[in-house]
Amino acid sequence: MHLIKPAALQTGDTIAVVAPASRPVLPSSLSQGIHQLRDMGFQVKCGSHVLSRNGFLAGTDADRLQDLHDMFADPDVKGIFCARGGYGCGRLLPTVDFELVRSNPKVFIGYSDITALQVALLNETGLVTFWGPMVSSELGKHPFPDYSRKALLKAITQDNPIGIIDDAPDAAPLQIINAGLAQGPLIGGTLSLLAASIGTPWALNSDGAILFLEEVGEEPHKIDRMLNQLLQAGKLDQIAGAVIGECYGCGSATHGPAFPYGNFSVEEVFYDYFGKLDIPVISGMAIGHGTYKTTLPIGVRATLDANQGTLSIDESGVI
């Protein structure tokens, strides 16, 4: 695949904030996130519907799509940050103007439900997008961790490769599920969205990839179902290696668990699926819905060294 890389952001550039899925839970968190962006040296403008409400969506599909298109078309906007995830990006895919995006490549950042857009944008345009913190969800929390801030700026403002991803503060040791060395494009996101893409025109293309994934708030049997879907769709057979991030809030429910008479842990589920694959796999990197977040350019070359427990980003995501 031919990648399209956006220009690196510079001090004084204008960042747009859009909400292609759900609206920010609190307007104050959006305001705090905008303050963080300005503190980093950026100017900020918001989409017209970023605080709109339509049930669990940030406005109608047409509203959210308009904001996305407007910001890619606006020559003054150099980067686009998502306000939060939630739900709704998949509803937009049939009407996204991929040619508009292809002709106006910009830094585009998000995760969680934004995975649906990121997978589709990579498939349809080759645009390198960024798995990273969002304005309301992360930048809007005080304090925004220095680890996450440094990782974000390193990924989007420097045109040299990120290199080896640093461990998050006080992180537990990475777990090596399978040793080995692998190289390939770094592709992935939130597991439920990757699984939901199967059978659509925008399905995950994992051929030869270093697959990274994470999840939030799911019981082990649901994690199992998602992995089983990827396996039976042939997506795990194709990968060169895998990096499992955090599964924040995942596990057997404290009250009313689905299987009170016995269960697997989330860790056991991952070991069951990935331990059988003859590829390097590590688990426990700061990729997920937890406190600390690295920022990952999606689609660029990466090296997974599961002997040493490291992931190296070997190609810049910006130019």
Q: What is the residue extent of each domain of the chain?
A: 14-144, 163-313
How far is Cα 260 from Cα 196, in angstroms, rounded to an integer?
27
CATH number of 163-313: 3.50.30.60
Q: Tell me if the domain spanning 14-144 has CATH number 3.50.50.60.
A: no
Q: For tokens 């996204």, what's the residue?
A: 96
Radius of gyration of the chain (CA): 18
Identical fold for domains 14-144 and 163-313, yes or no, is no
Residue-level pLDDT at 260 = 79
Output b/e per residue, 294-311; b: 16+ Cβ within 10 A.
bbbbbbbbbbbbbeebbb
Residue-level pLDDT at 171 = 85
DSSP alpha helix (H) spans, 233-296: 266-274
Residues 218/247, Cβ–Cβ less than 8 Å:
yes
How far is Cα 94 from Cα 269, in angstroms, rounded to an integer?
33
Structure tokens at 160: 């040299």
Residue-level pLDDT at 262 = 74
Q: Which amino acid is located at 5 in the chain? A: K
Q: What mean pLDDT value characterizes the chain?
A: 96
Task: Map residue 306 onto helix, strand or coil.
Answer: coil
Residues 276/111, Cβ–Cβ less than 8 Å:
no
Task: Map residue 265 onto helix, strand or coil.
Answer: coil
* Least confident interval from 116-130, 154-168, 247-261, 284-298: 247-261
Residue-level pLDDT at 13 = 98
Higher pLDDT, 141 or 203: 203
How far is Cα 16 from Cα 185, in angstroms, rounded to an integer?
27
What are the two backbone dihedrals, phi and then psi, of residue 195, each rounded to the nearest 5 degrees?
Answer: -65, -40
How far is Cα 117 from Cα 202, in angstroms, rounded to an integer?
9
Residue-level pLDDT at 1 = 74
Residue-level pLDDT at 257 = 77
pLDDT tens-digit map of 170-201:
888 899 999 999 999 999 999 999 999 999 99
Rounded to the nearest 10 degrees, the angle between the axes of helix 266-274 and helix 220-232 is 20
Enzyme catalytic residues: 112, 214, 289
Q: Which amino acid is located at 102 in the chain? A: R
Confidence check: pLDDT of 254 > 90: no
Confidence check: pLDDT of 96 > 80: yes
Task: Map residue 215 onto helix, strand or coil.
Answer: strand
In degrees, rounded to 5, the angle at the alpha carbon of residue 161 between the alpha carbons of residues 159 and 163 is 150
Confidence check: pLDDT of 258 > 80: no
Record the pTM. Answer: 0.96
